[in-house]
Amino acid sequence: SSLFGNVEAFAGDPILSLNIAFQGDPRTEKVNLTIGIYMDGNGKVPVLPSVKAAAEKLGFGVRSYIPMEGLADYRRLVQELVFGKGSKLLAEKRVATMQSLGGTGALSIAADFLAKHTPGRPVYVSDPTWDNHHGLFQRAGFETKTYPYWDGATRTLRFDDMMKTLEEAPAGSIVIVQPVCHNPTGVDLSPAQQDALSDLLIAKQHIPVFDMAYQGFADGIDEDASFVRRYAERASSFLVANSFSKNFSLYGERVGGLSVVCATADEADRVLGQLKLAVRRSYSNPPTTGAQIVATVLGDPALRALWEAEVAEMRVRMKAMREALAAEVKKLSNEIDVGFITQQRGMFSYTGLSKAQVVQMRDTDGVYLVESGRMCVAGLTENNVAAVAKSLVAARG
């Protein structure tokens, strides 16, 4: 047999495969509510005017190598966006921040870093979570476990069970926390629950890895960072992965950041060195364009104000589409409690629909959801929301 004859076929990523199926679906009324991409009211992935203006201002400049850790201005602006401009941690130079290949790249470097420097600890992720959390940390050599998160019967958070599991976890466990706009459920912790979880994480010396992929999509850019910022006032060692894929609509440019918070400036210096080494051994140094664009927007007061307004527009549109879907469902049925649609936050709504119901919506109406019942509300528009409601009500029987 040949050298690669026994290589197993890749099952494919379930969400990306659904998108391929959607592209091939000949029906004109089809609606794609699968992948986590923000679409505007015309069903298009927007080019933000702030991003376009920054790209024009930059032009096509030199494409030399940039440092392993990324562009200095970009890294400073990432830190200020995540931790707040007046952050004590930043003043004390206790944060090692890298430019990363999106949120995924940040988590990947984080997993490798933790595997090398804090090996052998269990990694806890929410049940359910973004699937790649399991994969990225397993690839780095960790065993992943879950903490309860979603109660399918009530479509709410299993907060007490979550706390119990993390209380019983071995001290010093790694805990992935999505601080805002939880993927896939859309259910977040209240500020009081965040504080109670923070107490527990600190008391148990767990290592939180905050995965913030949707900053600005719930209540506001600063508001959405408040969990991380309040945690930062109290804790000495934790990690934050952030992404600009969604809030800058720069998905394919791969722009994000990894920040490792340390106890001292000296520690942060050495940690940054190890992160640079990890990058050097993986892809050497990050790409230029996306980070230059983000740094230009965040660093220019006029472009930044424009961007903040654009993020607000995306946030408001998603909320309006939640309201519209709830109203359309209500028109068709009084049986369905639609409160969850408007209470959940961010891009996703976990509908509680079964796999059979999701398949029925897809086969009968060309309305595509993820088979877990996750719906991307950013794919709803004035033009398709009534049809989606009709399909949803029919599927529930």
Which residues bind to ligand PMP, rule: CB under 6 A? 36, 102-104, 130, 178, 183, 211, 213, 243, 245, 256
Closest approach of ligand PMP to the CB of residue 330, in Å: 29
Q: Which of 150, 224, 246, 307 is catalytic?
A: 246
Query: Whose Cβ is closer to ligand PMP: residue 130's or residue 350's?
Result: 130
Helix axes 159-168, 191-203, angle to 10 degrees: 10
Closest approach of ligand PMP to the CB of residue 183, in Å: 4
Is residue 91 exposed (0-12), middle (13-18) or buried (19+ Cβ within 10 Å)? Answer: exposed
Closest approach of ligand PMP to the CB of residue 102, in Å: 3
Closest approach of ligand PMP to the CB of residue 213, in Å: 4
**For residue 84, what are the CA distances in angstroms to 38, 186, 226, 388?**
25, 24, 9, 39
| Residue spans of alpha helices (H) in 181-300 | 191-203, 221-224, 226-232, 265-280, 289-299
Query: Whose Cβ is closer to ligand PMP: residue 69's or residue 365's?
Result: 69
Which amino acid, residue 178? Q
Query: Whose Cβ is closer to ligand PMP: residue 94's or residue 254's?
Result: 254
326 alpha-carbon distance from chain centroid: 24
Query: Whose Cβ is closer to ligand PMP: residue 47's or residue 302's?
Result: 47
Residue at shortest CB range from ligand PMP: 102
Closest approach of ligand PMP to the CB of residue 100, in Å: 8
Q: Which of 112, 130, 150, 224 is catalytic?
A: 130
Spatial distance between the Cα atoms of 385 and 382, rounded to a whole number of angstroms: 6
CB 206 within 8 A of CB 174: yes
**Has 130 been annotated as catalytic?**
yes
Closest approach of ligand PMP to the CB of residue 324, in Å: 23
Query: Whose Cβ is closer to ligand PMP: residue 102's or residue 366's?
Result: 102
Query: Whose Cβ is closer to ligand PMP: residue 267's or residue 289's?
Result: 289
What backbone phi and psi angles, to 5 degrees, belong to 336?
-95, 125
**Has 246 been annotated as catalytic?**
yes
What is the radius of gyration, based on Cα positions, of the chain? Answer: 21
Helix axes 49-58, 301-332, angle to 10 degrees: 150
Q: Which of 211, 224, 307, 365 is catalytic?
A: 211
What are the beta bridge partners of residue 124?
A: 145, 175
211 alpha-carbon distance from chain centroid: 6
**Has 337 been annotated as catalytic?**
no
Spatial distance between the Cα atoms of 387 and 370, rounded to a whole number of angstroms: 17
CB 358 within 8 A of CB 369: yes
Name the residues annotated as catalytic: 130, 211, 246
